[in-house]
Amino acid sequence: MKAIVIGCGRVGSSIAKQLLQEGWDVTAVDEREDALTRLGEDWPGTFVLGHGMDVDVLRAAGIDDADAVVVSTDGDNTNLVVGQVVQKRFGVECVVVRVLDPARAKFYNERGLTTISPTSTAIEALTDTVRACAVGLRQEVTT
């Protein structure tokens, strides 16, 4: 199975390494060469230098026979556009897009683009943790 990870910051590089470990054939794409340092000196996967909006870069990364694409640059709008291009122009079925803004993530999710909002996830996790604390405190009071 072939995966392309577009945008290799903290999140993207970790996803790339994880997928590679699980046996995927991974190509990482980033416009900065120093993204390679995040992937590790011994990165055995492919690395393509360039911007995800550039169709030539996508082709060089092997978009035509990719099974999955993760779009995780630090720009929400870049991710949303690249995700749609990958889905609509290149027909990749499994496209996952990182979108920090929960409102935009929700809108595009409803339109058939799979978006993940780390902000929403963080809000939920933090709120749940506080709720759990509150339960603990209440129990302390009653006992």
Partner 1 sequence: MYVLIAGGGKVGSNVARLLLRAGHEVTVIEQRGDRFTRLEEEFEHAVQRGDATELHVLERAGIKRPPDLVLAATGDDEDNLIICQLAKEKYGVPKVIARVNDPRNQAHFDLLGISPTVCATSNILALVEHEVPEHDLIHLLELRRENLEIVEVQIADNSPVAGKRVETLRLPDGARLISVMRGGESEIAVGSTELKPGDQVLAILQPGKEDELRRVLLKG
* Residues at the site binding partner 1, with contacts judged by CB under 8 A: 53-55, 75-78, 80-81, 84-85, 88-89, 101, 103-104, 107, 111
Cβ contacts of 69 within 8 Å, gap of 6 or more = 3, 4, 5, 6, 63, 83, 86, 92, 94, 95, 96
Nearer to partner 1 among residue 8 and residue 76 (C-beta): 76
* In the complex, least distance from residue 67 CB atom to partner 1, rounded to whole angstroms: 21
Helix segments in 3-65, DSSP class H:
10-21, 35-39, 55-60
What dihedral angle (degrees, nearest 10) is formed by the CA atoms of 93, 99, 104, 105? 50
Q: How far is the CB of 78 from partner 1 (least distance, A)?
A: 5
- Is the CB of 15 or the CB of 85 nearer to partner 1? 85
Considering the complex, state which of residue 8 and residue 85 has its C-beta at the smaller distance from partner 1: 85
Which residue do the tokens 């803004």 mark?
101
CB of 86 to partner 1, least distance (A): 11
Closer CB to partner 1, 13 or 87, in the complex:
87
